[in-house]
A and B are shown apart, each in its own frame.
Chain A
């Protein structure tokens, strides 16, 4: 394990900037998001708890070109987009890193999604353990430890004045080998790191018991009264789904240019929207309560049935950014337990 003084972090990131586009937490666009690092500012170490826009944006952008088309005579020529740039995300939190591992499963399944997978392949993740979890965080209930992560290439732990840096994957270890200006961590550093990890865990105040949740949701599926009550205050906007690091649903749209060309893009879509499943003749989820039910059940029942993992890592963004303070942990706690008849 290596370490670096926090005040030296800029020199570390500058080294990596030689080979990667380095992205780090930034408030340059008003709200916290991962943005291209400006080459010198490490002030984010003071204020950064988590971003508003989840790092999934770096792998699955809100607007992504799939291919271009150009009219040629009576026909068309297509050119597929090929995301290639190597990028490094510094500061991704364990919840968001786990989230990527979770949605990897759907993008690998049956038909490999080359756009997602090549971005994923070309992105190196440098995790940063939490020191100040938010009151909306419930990652520990979802199998995530806020101070540590196996879902990143390199993992940093903040021990006060220093960052401990550990190589997790082969790619990460390789990068660590090549990186200069790092000191060796001592056994005492190792203990301080463990303490920091334990402290982060202790600071999580929101808990949720997900035992048997898929079964409970399955049994409650047809309970229209329950879902209407749960959905009553939801306004069916896309905040929770767009800012959720495990939501991945997308829409596909074409845009034209005047010169007979254009492109096909995909963009984030949400099962909360009525238009999501709307067909000319009917809409199977016309009612708000059906869409709220879909959102909850997809994450805590359907996805686990398909991929053996709940599509939620307890990052808490949905709770703290929901315009009506709709709270998933409250909803899940209120799902009726199956009766023993």
Chain B
């Protein structure tokens, strides 16, 4: 299972220069929550627009020129290439600058960088997606990828939660997956909410309640660090081996290409060898600083 196989990553470098962004145009903006937005975009250059591809799990470096660059996964699926998407939570100068942009604004894009979800391993398996908050963004790319190639995968379970009803991202996806008979969708919020008549409970606890079988399955997990740390033991309890648990890690990144140094865990660079890792690989990391 070649999770760190980076050979399938494609390089679309502007003038062969890994630091030079392509110009992209924002086509649509969706407010997911009070502090989170999804941006739909396309490259200005026609040829690139036609030729660009990526794999689920990869990320880009998005620029607001004059403010800086920030790292976000590509949250759309490669099976739906009419446009690209990324999702931004407002936490600092670049993310705030992105949120101030309107449709038609031009941004920079470098990528796709990083490795991707190991489709060769996942094909034929039952997929259990476990996500919290904006952590659904990278998984969303893979979920639609799987649904668009439904015959390649077994059962699909999705367990998704957020702090409150207002913090649920991609509500339009949650609706669609709820309605999809081939998908078992469970949505939860952390605490009781007047606006919510659905399930209540932290994602790891709800995962245990749903109790998907580990046989012939793989779990793909993404969310706040605390959620991930509590989810792995539940998956272990359910019989998932470390190889069967896959996640995508977040680190402060700048170059995105394994040069500036800061995203390392030992001799692994999350931007270049990741961000997708199995828990088996993570256990072999030099430290728990992930």
| A interface residue numbers (CB < 8 A to B) | 66-67, 69, 71, 74-76, 78, 80, 106-107, 109-115, 218, 221-222, 248-256, 262, 264, 266, 269, 271, 276-282, 284-285, 290, 294, 297-298, 301-303, 305-306
Q: CB within 8 A of A111: which of B15, B108, B257? A: B257
Q: A69-B66, A280-B92, A298-B264 are in contact. Are A75 and B286 (CB under 8 A)?
A: no
Complex contact B91–A75 (CB within 8 A): no
How far does the alpha carbon of A254 sit from the alpha carbon of B61 in the complex, in Å?
14
- How many residues on the B side are at the interface (Cβ–Cβ under 8 A)? 48
Complex contact B23–A76 (CB within 8 A): yes
How far does the alpha carbon of A106 sit from the alpha carbon of B286 in the complex, in Å?
20
How far does the alpha carbon of A281 sit from the alpha carbon of B249 in the complex, in Å?
13
A-B pairs with the 6 shortest C-beta distances? A249-B261, A256-B66, A284-B289, A280-B91, A75-B106, A302-B267
Give the one of A66, A262, A284, A285 with max B CB within 10 A. A284
Complex contact A78–B252 (CB within 8 A): no
Complex contact B68–A250 (CB within 8 A): no
Contact partners of A276 in chain B: CB under 8 A: 252, 262
Within 8 A of A (CB), among B88-137: 91-92, 104-106, 108
Nearest B residue to A218 by beta-carbon distance? B286
27 residue pairs of the A-B complex, CB under 8 angstroms, read: A66-B20, A69-B65, A74-B104, A75-B25, A75-B106, A76-B23, A76-B65, A80-B17, A109-B258, A110-B258, A111-B11, A111-B18, A113-B259, A115-B19, A250-B259, A250-B261, A252-B68, A254-B68, A269-B262, A271-B261, A277-B252, A279-B251, A284-B251, A284-B290, A301-B267, A302-B286, A306-B267
- The smallest C-beta distance from B185 to any residue of chain A, in angstroms, reads 27
Complex contact A252–B69 (CB within 8 A): yes
Contact partners of A303 in chain B: CB under 8 A: 267
Complex contact A80–B15 (CB within 8 A): yes
Complex contact A107–B259 (CB within 8 A): yes
- Contact mask B51-95 → A, CB, 8 Å, 1/0? 000000000000101111100000000000000000000011000
Contact partners of A69 in chain B: CB under 8 A: 65-66
Contact partners of B157 in chain A: CB under 8 A: none
Q: A69-B66, A78-B23, A302-B267 are in contact. Are A290 and B289 (CB under 8 A)?
A: yes
Complex contact B66–A254 (CB within 8 A): yes
Contact partners of B13 in chain A: CB under 8 A: 111
Chain A CB within 8 A of B238 CB: no
- Contact mask B253-290 → A, CB, 8 Å, 1/0? 01101111111101100001000000000000011011
Chain A CB within 8 A of B225 CB: yes
Complex contact A251–B260 (CB within 8 A): yes
Q: CB within 8 A of B264: which of A71, A112, A218, A302? A: A302
Give the one of B13, B65, B255, B258 with max A CB within 10 A. B65
- The smallest C-beta distance from B45 to any residue of chain A, in angstroms, reads 12
Contact partners of A80 in chain B: CB under 8 A: 15, 17, 19-20
How far does the alpha carbon of A277 sit from the alpha carbon of B260 in the complex, in Å?
11
Contact partners of A277 in chain B: CB under 8 A: 251-252, 262-263
Chain A CB within 8 A of B32 CB: no
- The smallest C-beta distance from B266 to any residue of chain A, in angstroms, reads 6
Q: Besides A80-B17, A284-B289, 5 other CB < 8 A contacts?
A: A69-B66, A74-B104, A113-B259, A277-B252, A279-B250
How far does the alpha carbon of A284 sit from the alpha carbon of B69 in the complex, in Å?
21
Contact partners of B6 in chain A: CB under 8 A: 110
- The smallest C-beta distance from A114 to any residue of chain B, in angstroms, reads 6
Complex contact B68–A253 (CB within 8 A): yes
- The smallest C-beta distance from B41 to any residue of chain A, in angstroms, reads 13
Chain A CB within 8 A of B138 CB: no
How far does the alpha carbon of A277 sit from the alpha carbon of B20 in the complex, in Å?
23
Nearest B residue to A221 by beta-carbon distance? B286
